[in-house]
């Protein structure tokens, strides 16, 4: 289990993704210090346990007021929203949350503000840019590059040397063959198998992947 950070961590978001991030924090022995969400009744408010009350609602996403000794993690799943909110927050206060049961190769390079979920694998010399999400049981094989704010969804697999552009989504259970490049902001549908490079903003579905018309 990684050592618990020595400062309070707040969650930016209070929905389903925030629940998963909060669970990973607890697995590392740290209680979330609160959450920001436009909805004060967001689901995070129900995340109590026998040992800890539910995290407190601290304010809306438009008014995030972080004291200098507090760290945050983006805990919103919506990629455009994450990007907008990240631009308003102090970079130096972002913290990564890595589930205690993830495998993260020591040789990998990791930016800040990452979420790496349970059973995820980040393999040899993989390179993760800031605020990427490597979700539950996703596999990022050797020497992959995952761009800023990109999301590798639960169960998705990137073969060796895959490149995923910034703010792209590789959907649930998708497969990307070794050496393939996925452009910025692409959306790869659930279960898709990507055999060839995708340009920026492509949206693909199916096996093998085919482009959706605009």
Our finding on whether 78 is near ligand JB2 (CB under 6 A) is: yes
Q: Phi and psi at residue 169, in whole multiples of 5°?
A: -120, 120
Q: Which stretch binds ligand JB2 (CB under 6 A): 10-18, 87-95, 156-164, 181-189?
A: 10-18
Which 3 state secondary structure label does DSSP give 114?
coil
Our finding on whether 77 is near ligand JB2 (CB under 6 A) is: yes
Question: What token pair was written down for 68?
Answer: 């200098």
Interface with ligand JB2 (CB under 6 A), residue total 15
Of 16, 111, 118, 173, the residue at the interface with ligand JB2 (CB under 6 A) is 16
* Residue 158, C-beta contacts closer than 8 angstroms, at least 6 positions apart: 138, 139, 140, 141, 144, 146, 152, 164, 170, 176
Our finding on whether 37 is near ligand JB2 (CB under 6 A) is: yes
Our finding on whether 56 is near ligand JB2 (CB under 6 A) is: no
Question: What token pair was written down for 13?
Answer: 């978001």
Our finding on whether 24 is near ligand JB2 (CB under 6 A) is: no
Our finding on whether 155 is near ligand JB2 (CB under 6 A) is: no
Q: Which is nearer to ligand JB2, 97 or 142 (CB)?
A: 97
CA 78, CA 76: separation in Å to the nearest integer? Answer: 6
Q: How many helices and strands, by DSSP H and E, does the chain display?
A: 2, 23
Q: Tell me the longest C-alpha to C-alpha distance in the chain.
A: 51
Q: Which stretch binds ligand JB2 (CB under 6 A): 32-40, 62-70, 86-94, 118-126?
A: 32-40
Q: How far is the CB of 132 from ligand JB2 (least distance, A)?
A: 12
Summarize as ranges the residues that interact with ligand JB2 (CB under 6 A).
13-18, 37-39, 42, 61, 76-78, 81
């Amino acid at each position: 289990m990684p050592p618990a950070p020595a400062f309070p961590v707040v969650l930016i978001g209070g929905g389903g993704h925030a629940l998963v991030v909060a669970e990973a924090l607890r697995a590392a022995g740290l209680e979330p210090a609160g959450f920001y969400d436009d909805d004060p009744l967001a689901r995070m408010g129900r995340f109590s346990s026998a040992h800890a009350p539910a995290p407190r609602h601290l304010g809306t996403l438009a008014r995030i007021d972080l004291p200098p000794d507090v760290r945050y993690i983006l805990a919103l799943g919506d990629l455009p929203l994450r990007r907008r909110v990240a631009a308003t927050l102090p970079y130096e206060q972002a913290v990564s949350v890595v589930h205690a049961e993830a495998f993260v190769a020591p040789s990998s390079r990791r930016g800040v503000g990452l979420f790496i979920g349970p059973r995820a694998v980040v393999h040899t010399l993989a390179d993760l840019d800031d605020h990427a999400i490597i979700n539950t049981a996703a596999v990022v094989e050797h020497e992959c590059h995952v761009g800023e704010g990109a999301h590798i969804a639960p169960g998705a697999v990137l073969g060796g040397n895959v490149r995923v552009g910034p703010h792209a989504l590789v959907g649930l259970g998708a497969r990307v063959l070794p050496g393939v490049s996925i452009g910025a902001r692409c959306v790869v549908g659930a279960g898709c198998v990507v055999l060839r490079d995708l340009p920026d903003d492509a949206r693909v579905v199916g096996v093998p992947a085919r482009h959706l018309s605009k």
